[in-house]
Structure 1
């Protein structure tokens, strides 16, 4: 009786071993597919990084090597479809020469969505890789803005969400410290202007001439910020003061992100 019961359980054990082996095989195959998919994505990321590097150089700007990440999985399915969910690009230490000096962006993050690139374009390198929408976020360092204003002792920073200024000024024979905030104006074409309208100084003489001199100083440091040309046809939409600098938000639509034509 015991021998019969033992014999009857053996087929179930063999069946479990076959099932386990099948599951292990599926896991191995899935891993191989994932590896192949990631390898293909890495190749695409390097290609896009090269294109971005060329575009930045063509605009007379400089940056560290672009960091590119192709989002969405599986990648190979996106290749066959010719449409990619997201391509993220990070540029560090961006510098562009402009009239009056150099404006530095320690970082510029670009997020391209719904990118169209046919398989033939990827294979031949001919044609455009076009993003339906591109959003960029960068930071302008306060140091580069201070150098642009070219006023000895002037410092810029963020205070309560506003752009704050502190500067020594000679007024009627006295050395006073002027403080205040600026309005940041973004034009329709993405121009950025700093307007210092409300400056004051502790110990300022209660005289009309003293107030006039402070107002004149405010006008002298109210300037247009000559931003370098941003890549990917990005147009500035918003500028907000942050502790690390002015955060610039920009966007564009239907943008070629490669240099091919």
Structure 2
């Protein structure tokens, strides 16, 4: 019996040691995770400040940038000086274009394969460069309609097209115009709206009425005056969506900070 008790005590001590080791490892992992998340917060604030300076440098305006650094663990990215993915949100983006330029209520920027040394993040001096940047912003249909400045005109998305409805007076009667626009990206990233084949139910099919529709379509066919986008973004695609007209731009090898 004494021999069995003697053998049991070392086994218990071994189990206690294993439990202590597991607890210590869990604490160590927890501390590393906390340190990793704290480092992310520091980096996000540093990058947000760098982005704010770069936006101002490019004669654009926005609310303070919201930055989120992706990828885990973060500390290994710091040591490597390369970050997988950085998301930046700019709100109320306004550019250097004056007059009737439309502001973007929100611009979502996705920066991939970002190069930034630890010294750059710590001191604010040096370059933060993204190999590829894409940006997506949505223009509300109300702001587009206000730009067209036609009483009663409404814009919406129908079947993937930009649709218009508007009242028009002809020979003392009011008719409702309907139709869609061709939405394209032209030279220098300009977004073009071209309305054609407008119709109005009940409108007499006479030359004067047809000319009225043609003139109206011509008057609301415009190049949308977008603000100059930050980070050298050039508009590549535009799509009517239920929430508004969405524009997408991209750029490569882009500095996303004001290098010191």
Q: TM-score, normalised by structure 2?
A: 0.94
In structure 2, relative to structure 1, the CA distance for the partners of 1:176 and 1:161 (3 Å cut) is same
- Pairs within 5 Å for 1:96-245: 96=95, 98-245=97-244
- Matched residues in 2 for 1:143 and 1:104: separation? 12
SS at match of 1:189: helix
SS at match of 1:51: helix
In structure 2, relative to structure 1, the CA distance for the partners of 1:192 and 1:226 (3 Å cut) is same
User: Would you say how many aligned residue pairs link Structure 1 and Structure 2?
Assistant: 260
Greater fraction strand: 1
- Matched residues in 2 for 1:259 and 1:97: separation? 18
**How many angstroms does 1:229 deviate by?**
0.8
**Aligned partners of 1:182 and 1:198 also within 8 Å:** no
SS at match of 1:232: coil
Query: Structure 2 unaligned runs (5+)?
Result: none
SS at match of 1:203: coil
Query: Structure 1 unaligned runs (5+)?
Result: none
**How many angstroms does 1:129 deviate by?**
0.7
In structure 2, relative to structure 1, the CA distance for the partners of 1:112 and 1:196 (3 Å cut) is same
- Report the RMSD for the aligned CA atoms in angstroms: 1.7
**How many angstroms does 1:146 deviate by?**
1.1
**Aligned partners of 1:102 and 1:144 also within 8 Å:** no
2:89 maps to 90
**How many angstroms does 1:188 deviate by?**
4.3
In structure 2, relative to structure 1, the CA distance for the partners of 1:142 and 1:122 (3 Å cut) is same
**How many angstroms does 1:153 deviate by?**
0.9
1:62 maps to 61
1:16 maps to 15
The farther-off stretch of 216-225 and 167-176 is: 167-176
